[in-house]
Amino acid sequence: MRRIILILFTLLSTACSAAESRVTVGAEQTEKYLPQLEGKRVAVLANHTAMAGEQHLVDMLVAEGVNLVGIVSPEHGFRGTADAGEKVNSSVDSRTGVPIWSLYSSKGRNLTEEQMAAFDIMVVDMQDVGLRFYTYYITMLDVINRCADFGRKVIILDRPNPNGMYVDGPILDMKYKSGVGALPIPVVHGLTMGEIAIMAIGEGWAKSAEIEVVKCKNYTHQSRYTLPIAPSPNLKSQHAIYLYPSTCLFEGTACSLGRGTDAPFEMYGHPTMQGCDYTFTPRSVAGAKNPPLKDQLCYGVDLRGIDDEQIISEGFNLEYIIDAYRRTNLGEKFFTRFFELLVGVDYIREMIIDGCSAEQIASRWQSDVEQFKTLRRKYLLYKE
């Protein structure tokens, strides 16, 4: 009997310890923001990832009696099912009857004066993946700028950055500022949404709105946080999220990165790639209706067998792009103009064409990354 009691006590202690160390996202800490919403007209910038425990933030706010007047939706739409860059019309949430104001519609990417006049407080909750070219933070900054113009408070319900354990890649040359790069930061910036908002305002990259960040509990930048929900249609796994900083660059080339397969961002290939045993054929599927190289047999490389920790240790890795460039023999036709918008500088294309190695190219940005990391420390909400 004594042995059984000891075992039960050990199991209970282990369970309690796990509960105490579990990362708690901002949305779950309702005591920190619900009181501020009482008697206010509230809008939310959110998508399908905005879960407060087992319940979606929107459903929870309505159930709590919050006067929710609008849902602002980012790229991929409120339900997170639209293709990359696909236009999504404004509509009404069928579950709650709350209007959805799409910022990826044909009518522009700013809230209208009428919409701004409809609310007092904006609540932001979206799961980002920590890359300069991932658009959720850009949408958030656009909304913050709009709220600054109209004197509206912004409450950011923070979430962990699954790529927050390192900083790497070239800093954006602002001549390449675009919808996939808004700030002079590295490709892998190592910031949460709350931190990047604070930094953008602090450095004068965004307007000075009144913002408050509801921090995550039990999170540090070395936490290995597995996302419970895919943040966008083609980031289907944690492995893909780790590869994404490097494989997303194929969006700016003639190659496929696996859109239209069951493992986008976890492979790359082209019909002309030489010396490859692996093959795949992109098809039209939900979330990738018209993928690059649709219905064409591609020879390429399957990255699904690489260990996660190896991917993280290699950081922003140009080896995949260099490998594909050399094996397709397409020359300048390998790259599109979108490549510079993604990498944010002009020297990477030039150095690849000149035959430089990934290590030689990476040496160009290392000092800039170290300077950014020093600057970044002023704005960190969580331990490095």
Instruction: Express each pLDDT in 267-313 by its tens digit.
Output: 999 999 999 999 999 999 988 999 999 999 999 999 999 999 999 99
* SS3 of residue 62 by DSSP: helix
Q: Residue 243 has what pLDDT? A: 98
Q: Please tell me the distance from the alpha carbon of residue 301 to that of residue 280, in angstroms, as a whole number.
A: 9
With the CA atoms of 357, 246, 265 and 71 taken in that order, what torsion angle do they form, in degrees rounded to the nearest 10? -160
Share of the chain above pLDDT 70, in %: 91
Q: How far is CA 114 from the centre of its chain?
A: 29
| pLDDT higher than 90, residue 108 | no
| pLDDT higher than 50, residue 6 | no
Name the pLDDT band for 5 (thresholds 50, 70, 90).
very low
- Among residues 171, 190, 184, the alpha carbon closest in space to that of 377 is found at 190
Q: Residue 10 has what pLDDT? A: 39
Q: Residue 158 has what pLDDT? A: 98
Judged by average pLDDT, the poorest of 79-83, 337-341, 352-356 is 79-83
* SS3 of residue 64 by DSSP: coil
- The residue whose two tokens read 């790069």 is 181
Other residues' Cβ atoms within 10 Å of the Cβ of residue 13: 10
Q: Residue 282 has what pLDDT? A: 98
Q: Residue 105 has what pLDDT? A: 73
| pLDDT higher than 70, residue 228 | yes
Q: If you average pLDDT over every residue of the chain, what do you get?
A: 92
* SS3 of residue 309 by DSSP: helix
**In whole angstroms, how large is the CA radius of gyration of the chain?**
22
Share of the chain above pLDDT 90, in %: 85
Q: Residue 81 has what pLDDT? A: 59
pLDDT 10s digits, 138-148: 999 999 999 99
Q: Which domains does the chain have, with CATH numbers?
A: 29-227 (3.40.50.12170), 238-365 (no CATH)
- Quote the strand ranges of the chain, DSSP E: 41-46, 51-52, 55-56, 67-73, 91-92, 99-102, 121-125, 153-157, 168-171, 186-188, 211-214, 267-270, 278-280, 298-302
Compute φ and ψ for 107, nearest 5 degrees.
-100, 10
Q: Residue 170 has what pLDDT? A: 98
pLDDT 10s digits, 250-262: 999 999 999 999 9
**pTM beyond 0.85:** yes
Q: Residue 86 has what pLDDT? A: 65
- Among residues 191, 203, 202, the alpha carbon closest in space to that of 159 is found at 191
205 DSSP 8-state letter: S
Q: Residue 13 has what pLDDT? A: 38
Cα 77 to Cα 64, 83, 373, distances in angstroms: 24, 9, 33
- The residue whose two tokens read 């390449």 is 176
Q: Residue 91 has what pLDDT? A: 77
